[in-house]
Amino acid sequence: MASQSPPVIVLVGPTAVGKTAFALALAGRLEAEIVSADSRYLYRGLDIGTAKPTPAERARVPHHLVDVTTPDRPWTLADVQQAAYAAIASIRARGRLPLLVGGTGQYIRAIVEGWQVPGGAPSPELRAELEAELARDGVAALAGRLAAVDPQSAAQIDVRNPRRVIRALEVALTTGQSFVAQRRRQAPPFRAISIGLNRPRPELYARIDARVDGMLAAGLVAEVQGLRDQGYAWSLPAMSALGYRQIGAYLRGECDLAEAVRRLKHDTRVFVRRQANWFKPDDPALRWFDAGRTTPDQIADYILKEIRVVQSAP
């Protein structure tokens, strides 16, 4: 029997490749609604530095999982996955196409592959304890503690990343489950058609530089200062995101603005290279398109053809 429920369209690609423009065009052509899979879009007030879709763009196409929390209330991967599944179900129930868009590979994988993510909301007290230990003893000490309580996770995650180590410890200490239990999978109740956007690296790097310059012109420094004036600590995950971390260093007097901008451009390039680890060119689940040599209409035509294949399958 053919499946009549709309599939989920997935659009991935590195920072600055042009996902937002393509997503808006595709949504208009396909009668889709956008479900964000960008870890920074979750936070209200982080607009310029995240290149968040503008209010006009969000009025043009419904967006989900954008501006859903404040910088001092981070969402877990389980929170994101559950909210994404709820948004996808609601969109499909209305007979529209869910368009899952983002560059946060962990979010995309967890949603599309059905990771069984440990719950366990972060404990403010435990988080404060771990943050204090990080400040006092460094990430290596936290990694050693993780190795003692959850050796499986310590062997598999990037123990140089303090946020990952802290979250793994939170899961292990509050739920008794191994953090990498999220690697278990249960197929979600939808089929995905996955599209990847890419560009040659020199072109992508030029777009990154231009985007950073545009953010500065649009008021990034004032945005970061405004968040700090509202009382958001520099140590929050949201405030250590790309753009906010580098401008924060300038505002604290640790470097001049030119150096902060240089770091931001450099760090964004490094981030793009890390993003590539999540989405491989030879991934058979992804159909790649060169964003500089392909139009949204061409991708929409490909998607419509694939939808017919999916909906005729048993």
Q: What is the pLDDT of residues 249-258, one digit of tens each?
A: 999 999 999 9
What would the pLDDT profile of 3-16 be if each residue is shown by its tens digit? 567 899 999 999 99
- CA nearest to 19, candidates 31, 27, 30, 11: 11
Q: Could you tell me if 271 and 38 are in contact, meaning their C-beta atoms sit under 8 angstroms apart? A: no
Which CA distances in Å does 299 have to 200, 244, 295? 18, 34, 7
Neighbours of 210 (CB within 10 A): 12
What would the pLDDT profile of 166-192 be if each residue is shown by its tens digit? 988 988 888 888 888 766 788 898 999
Residue with tokens 């996902």: 19
Token pair in block for residue 5: 């429920």
Check pLDDT > 50 for residue 37.
Answer: yes
8-115+187-201+284-312 and 124-182 in the same fold: no
Check pLDDT > 80 for residue 92.
Answer: yes
| Predicted local confidence at residue 2, as pLDDT | 40
The domain ranges of the chain are 8-115+187-201+284-312, 124-182, 202-274
What's the sign of the alpha-carbon dihedral 164, 170, 172, 173?
A: positive
Please classify residue 55 by burial: count the beta carbons closer than 10 Å to its beta carbon, then call 0-12 exposed, 13-18 middle and 19+ buried: exposed
Banded model confidence at residue 119, pLDDT cuts 50, 70, 90: low
In the predicted model, what is the mean pLDDT of the chain?
A: 92
Q: In this prediction, what percent of the chain has a pLDDT beyond 90? A: 73
Q: What average pLDDT does range 181-210 have in this prediction? A: 91
**Cα separation, 181 vs 178, whole angstroms:** 5
| Topology (CATH) of 202-274 | Helix Hairpins (1.10.287)
Token pair in block for residue 125: 């007290």
Architecture of domain 8-115+187-201+284-312: 3-Layer(aba) Sandwich (3.40)
| Cα angle 186-188-193, degrees, rounded to a multiple of 5 | 125
Of 67-76, 155-164, 177-186, 257-266, the range with the lowest mean pLDDT is 177-186
| Predicted local confidence at residue 314, as pLDDT | 65
**Encoded amino acid at 78, one letter:** A
User: Would you list the DSSP string of the chain?
Assistant: ----S--EEEEE--TTSSHHHHHHHHHHHHTEEEEE--TTTTBTT--TTTTPPPHHHHHHS-EESSS-B-TTSPPPHHHHHHHHHHHHHHHHHTT-EEEEEES-HHHHHHHHHTB-----PPPHHHHHHHHHHHHHH-HHHHHHHHHHH-HHHHHHS-TT-HHHHHHHHHHHHHHSS-GGGGG-B---SS-EEEEEEE--HHHHHHHHHHHHHHHHHHTHHHHHHHHHHTT--TTSTGGGSTTHHHHHHHHTTSS-HHHHHHHHHHHHHHHHHHHTTTS-TT-TTEEEEETTT--HHHHHHHHHHHHHHHHH--
| Predicted local confidence at residue 158, as pLDDT | 87
Give the number of C-alpha atoms closer than 13 A to the C-alpha of residue 192, restricted to the C-beta side: 25
| Topology (CATH) of 124-182 | Histone, subunit A (1.10.20)
Check pLDDT > 90 for residue 108.
Answer: yes
Task: Indicate the pTM of the whole model.
Answer: 0.85
